[in-house]
Amino acid sequence: MTALIEVPEDLAAEIGEDAWNPWPWVTDRDGETWAASPILWSGEQVMAPFAADGRPATRSSVEAVYGPLIDQPHCPICGATSSWRDGVCARRLDSDAHPEQTRNTR
């Protein structure tokens, strides 16, 4: 069986959850969500798992272990998936979800 190629601990520590919203999200065949970071390690894209017990790993190893990855559209500001349609977030006027957008609309 193929194993995940996890990135070194120091690089994994640099990838904070706060930065995930603007990154593309994908789901694997088990329904787990991964953030496709812009970070490269050994020439490969680093994927950050949403699972609390997971460690960032290379994209090719994630695909080898968990199958093809499918894009998961989401709001790049609040991370909402169910309220994201055609590039518009239904939560855009919610001050908790989108504070920077509601600040100028009231």
Whether pLDDT at 103 is above 70: no
> Is residue 64 domain-shared with residue 99, that is, in the same domain?
no
> Is residue 53 domain-shared with residue 98, that is, in the same domain?
no
Domain hosting residue 97, numbered range? 79-106
More confidently predicted of 3 and 84: 3
- Total tally of structural domains belonging to the chain: 2
> Is residue 24 domain-shared with residue 58, that is, in the same domain?
yes
36: left (phi over 0), alpha (psi -120 to 50) or beta: beta
Each residue's pLDDT tens digit, 15-62: 876 667 788 999 999 999 999 999 999 999 999 998 878 889 999 999
Kindly state the percentage of the chain with pLDDT values over 90.
42
| CB distance 2 to 64 below 8 Å | yes
pTM for the model: 0.77
> Is residue 67 domain-shared with residue 26, that is, in the same domain?
yes
> Is residue 68 domain-shared with residue 86, that is, in the same domain?
no
Distance CA 2, CA 83 (A): 36
